[in-house]
Structures are given as structure tokens and as C-alpha cells.
């Protein structure tokens, strides 16, 4: 049995609705997800359950094309994704938004491998590698939400 993935949190000087606007615009995915180089296509139904966005990761010219799928969606509250990054594998990413008032919110994120070779790495080591990346990911998400909120 595995332990729970580490939770990373970020205070956002913007309401939950502004955070959700960023999450709900699949074309912004590469702007806040560390490691994603570009977005190639986004389903018109994003972020509804089952919808996908097609992205590339890595550094040009060594890019790998893959996709991310929505597993759960509760507008302005929660978005659960299955992020594919083969050949490393797949990860489940759980993003939760807590509304703290008219101009602030808290975003929490958990991520861990669910398929592929990454599962061969012990979870504590995977989390040591994932947590710093997720902190920067949430920092970028917060900056985008705060910018939209001020506009």
C-alpha cells in the first residue's frame, strides 16, 4: 500500500473563480504546468470529465507529444487529471481550490505516478522530485489568476 502523495499549497490573491478561469482554459496549460512546452489541441468541452488536451513536453527539439484527460471536475472547487508523459508513464493530479473570500483563495495539489516506469521509483523519491516542480506550477497558476483578477 502506498502513502498519500505530498500536498503542495499556494495562497492566491484572487478569488477561486479567477483560478478556475485559468484551469478552465486548456490553451493556458503550458503557461502554468512546469515541463509542458506547448499545447497542440484542446477539446471544446474542456474541462468536463473525459475531455482532453494534447500537449508536448521536453525541450525543443526533443519534444514528446502526449495528452492529459479530465477525470473529475467540480467547477471552482476541484479538477482531477490523468497526465500522460510517456515513456515515463502517467500521473494522477488532484487540484483543489478553496475560496477564502472575495479576493483570495488557496490552491492545493497532489500528484503521483499511476502507471508506467515511474512506478519503479519508490514513492518517497518520486515525491522528492515532484514537490518542487508542483510548487513552481502552483506559483505560476497563482500569478496567472492574479493577473486575470486585476484585469
Q: How large a percentage of the chain has pLDDT more than 90?
A: 89
Counting Cβ atoms within 10 Å, is residue 41 exposed (0-12), middle (13-18) or buried (19+)? Answer: exposed
Mean pLDDT score, 12-33? 98
Mean pLDDT score, 106-122? 97
Q: What is the dihedral of CA 82, 32, 9, 99, to 10 degrees?
A: -90
Would you state the pLDDT for residue 2? 52
Vertex 42 angle, CA 114 and 97, to 5°: 60
Dist. CA 94–CA 78, nearest whole Å: 7
31-66 pLDDT, tens digit each: 999 999 999 999 999 999 999 999 999 888 889 999
Residue spans of the domains in the chain: they are 7-150
Vertex 92 angle, CA 19 and 95, to 5°: 20
Topology adopted by domain 7-150: Alpha-D-Glucose-1,6-Bisphosphate; Chain A, domain 4 (3.30.530)
Mean pLDDT score, 113-141? 96
Amino acid at each position: 500500500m502506498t502513502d498519500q502523495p505530498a500536498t503542495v499549497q499556494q495562497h492566491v490573491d484572487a478569488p477561486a473563480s479567477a483560478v478556475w478561469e485559468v484551469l478552465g482554459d486548456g490553451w493556458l496549460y503550458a503557461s502554468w504546468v512546469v515541463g509542458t512546452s506547448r499545447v497542440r489541441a484542446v477539446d471544446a468541452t474542456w474541462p468536463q470529465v473525459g475531455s482532453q488536451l494534447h500537449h508536448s513536453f521536453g525541450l525543443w527539439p526533443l519534444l514528446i507529444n502526449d495528452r492529459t484527460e479530465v477525470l473529475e471536475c467540480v467547477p471552482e472547487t476541484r479538477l482531477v487529471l490523468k497526465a500522460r508523459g510517456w515513456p515515463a508513464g502517467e500521473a494522477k493530479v488532484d487540484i483543489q481550490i478553496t475560496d477564502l473570500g472575495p479576493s483570495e483563495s488557496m490552491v492545493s495539489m497532489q500528484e503521483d505516478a499511476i502507471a508506467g516506469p515511474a512506478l519503479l521509483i519508490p514513492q518517497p523519491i518520486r515525491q522528492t522530485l515532484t514537490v518542487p516542480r508542483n510548487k513552481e506550477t502552483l506559483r505560476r497558476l497563482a500569478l496567472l489568476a492574479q493577473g486575470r483578477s486585476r484585469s
